[in-house]
Copies of this chain bind each other. A is one copy, B any other.
Amino acid sequence: MRVEIWSDIACPWCYVGKARFEKALAGFAHRDEVEVVHRSFELDPGRAKGDVQPVLSMLTAKYGMSEAQAQAGEDNLGAQAAAEGLDYRTRDRDHGNTFDMHRLLHLAKERGRQDELIQILYRANFAEERSVFGEGDERLVELAVEAGLDGDEARAVLADPAAYADEVRADEREAAQLGANGVPFFVLDRAYGVSGAQPAEVFAQALSRAWGDRPALKILDEAAADACGPDGCQVPQDRPTAGKPQVSADI
């Protein structure tokens, strides 16, 4: 079974939701047969690269909240994160554009390091004092290396704005097609969707339901298969033979 998770590094509920999902997955009997893929979603795609702003000042400017309201929201999110065993700095975090991080996550997917990198980016953004937005590409290269990527390769991707840009946009188009207006958004075997950082029990139920509902495979054109089995390989000149293929020995 495959679970795709649309999320953004700048999304606190994605950080919390991932932990809740992982708790459910750890208790799922078929967890070894579940593959997790991370998909891109930007909460603030219009923000320019390098336009970095403290979270609180972004909240008050963009949504007209008072500073006390914005701080209360952060404190609440910090409490939810703590309940999942996650560090969360409720003061002095930065907000910025995450497009480059999503491009790096696509590189990491190709190199088999995606889950490592997204967890490191979340931790860097939500739990560490150093900003992931304010120090330019080298900060991201450092985090990519920590995730097991090659530093030069990560640096080259960051330096080329076109690298993996189509992949990020394709994920975002697909989120819209699937009806996701917000994140995190979990899709199980392209059959079930779960929206938001639901309690672990909801994810557990979704995993069980998606597993149980896997449809039986429909086998197309079974008759004339050129194939090899334990008793040998179908020999080419037998085709086209009506009915079941005659399996002859060839390896």
A224 to B110 CA separation, bound complex (whole angstroms): 34
Q: How many residues of A contact B (CB 8 A)?
A: 85
Determine whether the beta carbon of B179 is less than 8 Å from that of A226: no
Known contacts A73-B248, A220-B205: A226-B62 contact under CB 8 Å: no
Residues of chain A having any CB pair with chain B under 8 Å: 2, 8, 10-14, 16-17, 32-33, 43-44, 55, 58-59, 62-65, 70, 73-74, 76-77, 79-80, 95, 109-112, 166, 170, 174, 178-179, 181-185, 187, 189-198, 202, 205-206, 209, 214-215, 217-222, 224-237, 245, 247-251
26 contacting pairs across A/B (C-beta < 8 A): A12-B233, A13-B226, A13-B227, A32-B170, A33-B170, A33-B174, A43-B228, A59-B251, A63-B231, A77-B233, A80-B226, A80-B236, A95-B251, A110-B112, A179-B219, A182-B228, A183-B227, A191-B215, A191-B217, A192-B219, A193-B218, A193-B219, A193-B220, A198-B225, A198-B226, A202-B221
